[in-house]
Amino acid sequence: MLSIFADKQILITGGSGSFGHAFLRYVLAGGQAKRVVIFSRDEYKQFLMQREFSDNRLRFFLGDVRDHDRLKRAFRNIDIVIHAAALKQVTAAEYNPGECILTNVTGADNVIKAALDCGVDRVLALSTDKAVNPINLYGAAKLCADKLFVAANNLSGARGTRFSIVRYGNVVGSRGSVVPYFIEQSRSGSIPITDERMTRFWISLDDSVSFVARCLCDMRGGEIYVPKIPSMRIVDLARAIAPEAKLRIIGVRAGEKIHEVLVPNEEARDTLSFSDYYIIGPRVLESTSDGRQDSLSLVTRGSASGESGVQPSKVDEDFEYSSANNEEWLSESRLREIIDTSGG
The DSSP secondary structure of 271-332, one letter per residue, reads EEE-SSEEEEPPSS----TTS---TTHHHHSTTTTSSTT---EEPPTT--EESSS-S-B--H
The DSSP code for 171 is: E
Q: Could you give all domains of the chain from N- to C-terminal order, each with its CATH number? A: 2-170+204-228+262-322 (3.40.50.720)
Catalytic annotation present for 130 = yes
Over the stretch 241-285, which tens digit does the pLDDT of each residue have? 888 899 999 998 888 899 999 999 999 999 999 999 999 998 655
Helices assigned H by DSSP within 96-189: 97-101, 107-118, 137-151, 153-156, 178-186
CA-to-CA separations, 250 to 170, 196, 199, 253, 300, in angstroms, rounded: 21, 10, 16, 9, 46
Beta bridge partners of 163: 123
Q: How far apart are CA 343 and CA 337, in angstroms?
A: 10
Res. 133: pLDDT tops 70 = yes
Q: How many CB atoms lie within 10 A of CB 328?
A: 10
Give me the catalytic one of 8, 45, 88, 130. 130
Q: Give, to the nearest 10 degrees, the angle between helix 332-342 and helix 234-241.
A: 60
What would the pLDDT profile of 285-315 be if each residue is shown by its tens digit?
544 444 444 445 545 544 444 444 567 899 9
The C-alpha atoms of residue 134 and residue 140 are separated, in whole angstroms, by 5
Q: What mean pLDDT, rounded, does the chain reach?
A: 89
DSSP 8-state symbol, 40: E
Confidence of residue 67 (pLDDT cuts 50, 70, 90): very high
| 202-222 mean pLDDT | 94
In this prediction the pTM is 0.91
The three-class DSSP label of residue 255 is coil
Across 150-162, average pLDDT: 88
